[in-house]
């Protein structure tokens, strides 16, 4: 019995109450008619007669200690309530909560692009941002004197001129085809880097999504239908699409893809350079030299590749006319996209 009294006394001394609920818990445990102290008084009848007087005094002292501590806790809560009221705080009101953020517009477009291509059988692949010359240039059929190899376009690592920051996500295509046998159908989203002056229309860090499909009997018709599907899914079924002949070292034939401008709807504006059309991607059939470089027989397999800038797609989707807004972390700009999901 005496050991129980000592333990409960120590528990009372350590007790605290920061709010009304905790104060009520204290009252129920130590003050109420069903408290642990009341239970001890009920056990007093089992104590030996020569010990009852001593134990009874201890229980009375324990009861008084519990009541004194209860009054002290009440006073402390009253003081806290008075202090809160003096500074204009109503503790009975619910808190305002934390304001939730939203999806960044570039992440939203990236997820949307992945979703569209995954529905038609494309996987998602990733690769290193720090790359070597072979995977970034040579394997992709870039001649040694190609302008893209010049310092004004590429960030090279000074201590090793063969190492650089990738200028496109096409390096993932090379690594994928080196380690996987056809059929291959994948997209490669990620960051790319080019040594360009930062302006409203260009940035040294940007985001791309490239795609690759290699199999037997893949044709330019497959490429066109794939990108037609993407444009309609991303921008709406009334979007018009056109292909223009172009040149890329790693595809032959090559084409750039334009869509009807989402701002002027084909009537002509500054974004479309008053033509009514806006470029969204480059594409073409994979050059046989690239297939050979990656260990794939070009007589047995063919394929197509395409690449698009996430910033450009976002610009058309949300009518953002300055690329710098995406990286400046201006809360006023980002709050406009809180409803994206």
DSSP string, 18-87: SSHHHHHHHHHHHTSTTSHHHHHHHHGGGS-HHHHHHHHHHHHHHHHHHHHHHHHHHHHHHHHHHHHHHT
> How much is the pLDDT for 89?
61
User: Minimum mean pLDDT among 29-38, 142-151, 234-243, 300-309: which range?
Assistant: 142-151
d(CA 288, CA 177): 13
Task: Specify whether the CB–CB gap between 74 and 22 falls below 8 A.
Answer: no
Q: Which CATH superfamily is domain 105-337 in?
A: Bira Bifunctional Protein; Domain 2 (3.30.930.10)
Cα distance from N-terminal residue to C-terminal residue, the chain = 63
pLDDT tens track for 112-134: 999 999 999 999 999 999 999 99
pLDDT tens track for 166-175: 999 999 999 9
d(CA 208, CA 309): 4
Percentage of the residues of the chain whose pLDDT score is greater than 90 = 44
What mean pLDDT do residues 227-252 have? 93
Angle at which helix 105-118 crosses helix 220-235, to 10 degrees, equals: 130
Angle at which helix 105-118 crosses helix 310-318, to 10 degrees, equals: 110
d(CA 82, CA 89): 10
User: Minimum mean pLDDT among 8-12, 89-93, 157-161, 215-219: which range?
Assistant: 89-93
Angle at which helix 36-43 crosses helix 49-86, to 10 degrees, equals: 170
d(CA 218, CA 292): 16
pLDDT tens track for 60-99: 888 888 888 888 888 888 877 776 555 566 667 776 666 6
**What does residue 209 show for φ and ψ, rounded to 5 degrees?**
-130, 120
> How much is the pLDDT for 261?
81
Give domain limits for the chain: 2-86, 105-337
- Angle (nearest 5°) at CA 327 between 201 and 186: 80
């Amino acid at each position: 019995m005496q050991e129980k009294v000592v333990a409960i006394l120590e528990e009372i001394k350590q007790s605290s109450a920061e709010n009304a609920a905790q104060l009520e818990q204290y009252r129920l445990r130590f003050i109420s008619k069903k408290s642990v102290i009341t239970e001890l008084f009920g056990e007093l009848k089992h104590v030996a007669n020569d010990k009852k007087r001593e134990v009874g005094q201890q229980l009375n002292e324990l009861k008084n200690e519990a009541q004194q501590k209860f009054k002290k806790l009440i006073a402390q809560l009253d003081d806290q309530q008075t202090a809160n009221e003096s500074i204009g705080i109503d503790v009975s009101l619910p808190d305002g909560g934390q304001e939730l953020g939203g999806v960044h517009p570039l992440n939203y477009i990236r997820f949307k692009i992945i979703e569209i291509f995954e529905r038609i059988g494309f996987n998602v692949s990733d690769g290193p941002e720090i790359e070597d010359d072979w995977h970034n240039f040579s394997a992709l059929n870039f001649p040694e004197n190609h302008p893209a190899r010049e310092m004004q376009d590429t960030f090279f690592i000074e201590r090793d001129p063969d190492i650089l920051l990738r200028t496109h996500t096409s390096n993932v295509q090379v690594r994928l085809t080196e380690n996987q046998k056809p059929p291959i159908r994948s997209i490669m989203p990620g960051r790319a880097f080019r040594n360009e002056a930062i302006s409203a229309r260009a940035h040294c860090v940007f985001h791309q999504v490239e795609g690759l499909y290699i199999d037997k009997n893949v044709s330019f018709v497959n490429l066109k239908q794939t990108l037609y599907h993407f444009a309609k899914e991303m921008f709406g079924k009334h979007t018009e699409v056109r292909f223009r002949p172009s040149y890329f070292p790693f595809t032959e034939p090559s084409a750039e893809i334009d869509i009807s401008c989402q701002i002027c709807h084909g009537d002509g504006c500054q974004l479309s350079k008053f033509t009514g059309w806006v470029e969204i991607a480059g594409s073409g059939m994979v050059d046989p030299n690239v297939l050979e470089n990656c260990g794939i027989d070009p007589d047995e397999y063919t394929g197509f590749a395409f690449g698009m800038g996430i910033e450009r797609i976002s610009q058309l989707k949300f009518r953002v006319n300055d690329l710098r807004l995406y990286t400046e972390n201006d809360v006023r700009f980002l709050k406009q996209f809180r409803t994206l999901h």
